[in-house]
Amino acid sequence: MTASIKERLVSLVHDAARAVAGDDFDVATLPIGRPKDASHGDASIPCFPLAKAAGQAPPVAAKAFAEQLVELAKAKDGILTTAEAVGPFVNVRYERAALAEDVVRGVLEHREPFGQWKPNNTRVVIDYSSPNIAKPFHFGHLRSTVIGAALRRIYKHTGHTVFGINHLGDWGSQFGKILVAFEEWGDHEALHRDPMRHLYEIYVRFKRESDADPSLNERAAEAFRRLESGEDNAERRRWQELRDISLEAFQGPYGRLAAEFEAITGESFYEDKIESTLAQLKDAGITTVSEGALVVEVDGMPPCILVKSDGTTIYATRDLAALYYRRATYEFDKALYVVGAEQKLHFRQLKEVIAKLGWKEADGIEHIDFGLVLTFDPEQKRWTKFSTRGGNAIFLDEVLDEAVAKARTIIDEKNPDLADKDAVAEAIGVGAIVFNDLKNTRIKDVKFDWDELLSFEGETGPYVQYAGARLSSILRKAGSNDAADSIPKDIAWSALHDAERVLTTMLDFGSVLERCVDKNEPYILTSFVTSLASEIHSYLREHHVLSAEPEVKAARLLLVRAARDLIREGLALLGVASPEEM
């Protein structure tokens, strides 16, 4: 397969750099990026490392480097039209026909980086979503689910072997409370009619009534001790029933959010592995007993508790058991935990314990933290977080349903004759919520504003989806063939000389995904698809496709198809559907 235009540029850059600084120059220190101002060129190379190696001032080295690039491009590869030194940088421009063919063919033929990347032998475990059994799948669970699902898809696309794990909160002292609550106020008819709401209602009632009656908490503690005993008792059977019902109820939100997992294990899965985990930690000589509890002392932090003074374990114990299991089962290089920022101490402790064990995998353990989802409280006149504790939780499926209903209203107003309006409303409504969550760096709090997230303007899901639908409409009207092998050999790629902003934006797709993986930040991809949508909208305002001369029309239709396909691919990686019509 012919080398991509980026690979060809890298080859020229390496040859030119060695001509300036000598054959021993480490070309890996010379990065190729994009100018901040697109009018300055298609690619930019900072020359500081080159200048240091050549013993020259950066502007002097840049000028010599630019001259070498021009000479090599003329003699070896005609992909560059200019190479200009600007201070310590060299900005280059691609030959327009070569750029157009490289990008459009790359997308339509699913070449790397637009299509699946070759395997890189890196194994990644991503722990995400992890709702609590017998408690509501509320809107606060959205962030872990959509961030983790997006990272799972991006890592897979970029050649990693990925294991997405749903580590359900199906164990722990809170289950003692739920068991007692069901014993006191549970209703089997209500449980089977609407399981998550009924379990949530009795859980909230337990919280409220236990404040006035402390004996409920004592009963709950005893219930959990019996549950953790390993016996086949009433508590174990009730727990299993509630777990099975909850798991079935979760499938609805997961299907709508395009969240998939390689494994759904839960904390209970590690119950029979706790004893061996504790034994290995003790044998490693890193445990101590403090105030009757088994702990690991960690520098600069409170001790990591493994077994409480009453003999029960906590989630840290189960997370360590999970790491032992995942290390043996998946042989991971990286283990990512997509969990809210409030758990930062827990994961710092966890990583420190693993480091004390001397595992080489310790450096690959990373807490992928994120901010809160905020809603505006008109009474308090401020943004507040969603919560389950005060009885004011908003169930995720209710929010998704409301988004779909609002999208349906917009469709009825803007395009009442649209076919299959319910399916399109589902794609727009759910997609708008997912995109709104992912469009900023994950550590920022997400403000949930209906008017903003459903807008067809600005950095929103509907705006990007509409760009894809608009491109599909052009292709339908043209009767364009979607098959990659339909690219004629005699396409006049030079006809796309005025599409440089669209093409150079598309060319960035690979580096965008690299940055997403490097920083574990899906928002970099949302920014990319928004930029691509904006560029193609701008292009179409100034360049007619269907009415153009045949030679130009053929080239522009291929550009439209490539842009449409790349928007689809980017949205799919984020977990957002792409309607054909809107």
Measuring CA to CA, which residue among 204, 267, 275, 272 is closest to residue 239?
A: 267
Query: Which of 321, 350, 373 delimits the end of a domain?
Result: 373
Q: What are phi and psi of 391, to 5 degrees?
A: 85, 15
* 482 has a pLDDT exceeding 80: no
- Rounded to an integer, what distance in angstroms lies between the CA atom of residue 298 and that of residue 91? 50
pLDDT in tens, 394-434: 788 888 999 999 999 999 999 999 999 999 999 999 999 99
Is residue 529 situated within a structural domain?
A: yes
pLDDT in tens, 522-554: 999 999 999 999 999 999 999 999 999 999 999
pLDDT in tens, 177-190: 999 999 999 999 99
Q: What is the pLDDT of residue 394?
A: 74
- Strand, helix or coil at 496? helix
- Rounded to an integer, what distance in angstroms lies between the CA atom of residue 47 and that of residue 52? 9
88 and 145, same domain (yes or no): no
Q: How many domains does the chain have?
A: 3
184 contacts 203 by C-beta, under 8 angstroms = no
76 and 156, same domain (yes or no): no
Q: How many angstroms separate the most distant Cα atoms in the chain?
A: 87
Range of the domain at 13: 5-94
248 and 367, same domain (yes or no): yes
Percent of the chain with pLDDT over 70: 98
Residue of higher predicted confidence among 453 and 437: 437
Q: What do you get for the CA distance between the two ends of the chain, in Å?
A: 38
Is residue 262 situated within a structural domain?
A: yes
407 contacts 454 by C-beta, under 8 angstroms = yes
- Rounded to an integer, what distance in angstroms lies between the CA atom of residue 274 and that of residue 276? 6
- Rounded to an integer, what distance in angstroms lies between the CA atom of residue 371 and that of residue 144? 10
Structure tokens, 474: 């052009």
250 contacts 137 by C-beta, under 8 angstroms = yes
Query: Which of 47, 71, 94 delimits the end of a domain?
Result: 94
Q: What is the pLDDT of residue 388?
A: 44
Is residue 417 situated within a structural domain?
A: no
Query: Which of 94, 118, 147 delimits the end of a domain?
Result: 94
273 and 217, same domain (yes or no): yes
- Rounded to an integer, what distance in angstroms lies between the CA atom of residue 334 and that of residue 331? 9
Sequence-distant (6+) residues with CB within 8 A of 284 are 356, 357
Q: What are phi and psi of 471, to 5 degrees?
A: -65, -40
Q: How far is CA 308 from CA 291, 311, 317, 344, in A?
A: 9, 5, 10, 21
Q: What's 317's domain CATH number?
A: 3.40.50.620
38 and 143, same domain (yes or no): no
pLDDT in tens, 221-270: 999 999 988 889 999 999 999 999 988 888 889 999 999 999 998 888 99
The DSSP line for 272-301 is GGHHHHHHHHHHTT-EEEETTEEEE--TTS
Amino acid at the residue 469? A
Average model confidence (pLDDT) for the chain? 92
pLDDT grade for 363, boundaries at 50, 70 and 90: very high
18 and 165, same domain (yes or no): no
Is residue 393 situated within a structural domain?
A: no
Angle between helices 96-108 and 550-574 (to 10 degrees): 50
Measuring CA to CA, which residue among 270, 255, 357 is closest to residue 315?
A: 270
Strands 287-290 and 263-264: what pairing? unpaired
190 and 319, same domain (yes or no): yes
Quick one: DSSP state of residue 445?
A: P
- Strand, helix or coil at 164? strand
The DSSP line for 299-311 is TTS--EEEE-TTS
171 contacts 271 by C-beta, under 8 angstroms = yes
Average pLDDT over residues 454-459: 89
- Rounded to an integer, what distance in angstroms lies between the CA atom of residue 403 and that of residue 405? 5
Residue recorded with tokens 């009415």:
547
CA dihedral 97, 110, 432, 473 (to 10 degrees): 60
Residue recorded with tokens 């007692």:
180
326 contacts 277 by C-beta, under 8 angstroms = no
The sheet with strand 80-86 has its strands ordered as: 43-46, 89-94, 80-86
Q: What is the pLDDT of residue 196?
A: 85
Is residue 435 situated within a structural domain?
A: no
206 and 318, same domain (yes or no): yes
- Rounded to an integer, what distance in angstroms lies between the CA atom of residue 235 and that of residue 268? 14
Q: What are phi and psi of 55, to 5 degrees?
A: 70, 35
Q: Which helix (H) or strand (E) holds 375?
A: strand 373-377
Is residue 26 situated within a structural domain?
A: yes
Q: What's 32's domain CATH number?
A: 3.30.1360.70
Q: What is the pLDDT of residue 450?
A: 85
36 and 136, same domain (yes or no): no
139 and 89, same domain (yes or no): no
Q: What's this model's pTM, rounded to 2 decimal places? A: 0.91
Q: What is the pLDDT of residue 122?
A: 98
Strands 304-307 and 89-94: what pairing? unpaired
90 and 135, same domain (yes or no): no
- Three state DSSP letters for 43-87: EEEECHHHHHHHCCCHHHHHHHHHHHHHHHHHHCCCCEEEEEEEC
461 and 352, same domain (yes or no): no
Is residue 582 situated within a structural domain?
A: no
Structure tokens, 178: 């739920």
Instruction: List residues bridging with 377 in a β-sheet.
Output: 382
Q: What's 490's domain CATH number?
A: 1.10.730.10
Q: What is the pLDDT of residue 484?
A: 62
pLDDT in tens, 24-75: 999 989 999 988 888 899 999 999 999 999 999 999 999 999 999 999 999 9
CA Rg value for the chain: 28
Structure tokens, 370: 């994120």
Is residue 385 situated within a structural domain?
A: no
Measuring CA to CA, which residue among 370, 289, 361 is closest to residue 325?
A: 361
Average pLDDT over residues 195-209: 90
166 contacts 128 by C-beta, under 8 angstroms = yes
108 contacts 484 by C-beta, under 8 angstroms = yes
Structure tokens, 383: 């943004």
